[in-house]
Amino acid sequence: MVIDMNVLYTGATSGIAKEVISYLLRDPFVVIYLGVHTKQQLQVMRTYYHGVKNVQILKLDITNVEDYRSLDNIQIDVVVHNAAIGYGGSLFDMPIEKVRENYETNIFGTLQLTQYLFPKFRKQKHGRIIFMSSLAGIIPISFIGSYASSKASLIMIARILKNETRKLDFPLDVILIEPGLYHTGFNQLLFETKYENMKDSIFWSKRGQITRQEKWLLRLLEKNNKKTIARQIYHAIYDLYPKSIYRAPFLQCLGAKIYQILFW
């Protein structure tokens, strides 16, 4: 069956996003609108996808409502909320402006864009909203609390929105993606940036021990092959009767499920 579909994919510069887009491009009847944060990223991505007719690149800072105007005359069938930032540090003494910046993008920007698109979904009588959360929003990992708590908030936001869609008079799917640890460079950046925020921290003297534990965690769990999570996101976009939650990789998801049963 041929499906004509427009997909808005925010934060579309990451390795996982590019893997998903490579799947989507197999369908000649899908148009992909890739939202990027800066003008520099805009130029890079336009060069990368030069000549690919069903990919459009947009500057879309999700914290800037003015950037939303570029979506006004576009039908959006599916939005994948992939844009996110992460700062590390202890929640005991991390600068609150860093926590606020994390929340501003990962929670408020994501929700604000959802609200902006909602009248469009209502007018066209259908839509699909996909939130990229993380298993870090389920399993507490020390020194990434700002990022992890923002992803935990997204999980609850998505679940509440899904409940509220049951009162609507048109079909609107709300779906969660919860990836585990994949090697994209984001995890390393998240762990490393905490030292910028910890120089006056009580934990500064323990940074060697903390770093060794984090490197061990990444060596043990981080996956280089992104296809498992890319396929889950692809299914979340395309499945006629989508699941509420798509997760990968399997063993990390199983560990998260066991943790929820035992400790939540």
Per-residue pLDDT tens over the stretch 106-157: 999 999 999 999 999 999 999 999 999 999 999 999 999 999 999 999 999 9
Query: Residues 56-96: pLDDT tens digits?
Result: 999 999 999 999 999 999 999 999 999 999 999 999 999 99
Residue 1 pLDDT grade (very low, low, confident, very high; cuts 50, 70, 90)? very low
Query: Residues 209-250: pLDDT tens digits?
Result: 999 999 999 999 999 999 999 999 999 999 999 999 999 999
Which value, in Å, is the radius of gyration of the alpha carbons in the chain? 19
For position 165, what pLDDT does the model report?
98
Q: Is residue 60 part of a domain?
A: yes
Query: Residues 8-49: pLDDT tens digits?
Result: 999 988 789 999 999 999 999 999 999 999 999 999 999 999
Q: How far is CA 23 from CA 12, 19, 232, 234, in A?
A: 14, 7, 11, 7
Cα–Cα distance for residue pair 152/133, rounded to 1 Å: 7
Q: Is residue 208 part of a domain?
A: no
Nearest partner of 124 among 80, 63, 58, 168, judged by Cα:
168
Q: Could you tell me if 164 and 119 are in contact, meaning their C-beta atoms sit under 8 angstroms apart? A: no
Q: Is residue 209 part of a domain?
A: no
Cα–Cα distance for residue pair 244/79, rounded to 1 Å: 15
For position 3, what pLDDT does the model report?
53
Q: Is residue 242 part of a domain?
A: yes
Q: Is residue 214 part of a domain?
A: no
Q: Is residue 207 part of a domain?
A: no
Q: Is residue 14 part of a domain?
A: yes
For position 198, what pLDDT does the model report?
85
- Look up the CATH number of the domain holding residue 12: 3.40.50.720
Q: Is residue 229 part of a domain?
A: yes
Domain that holds residue 9: 5-86+100-183+225-263
pLDDT above 90: residue 251 = yes
Number of domains in the chain: 1
Residue 2 pLDDT grade (very low, low, confident, very high; cuts 50, 70, 90)? very low
For position 264, what pLDDT does the model report?
79
| 20 CB burial (10 A radius; 0-12, 13-18, 19+) | buried
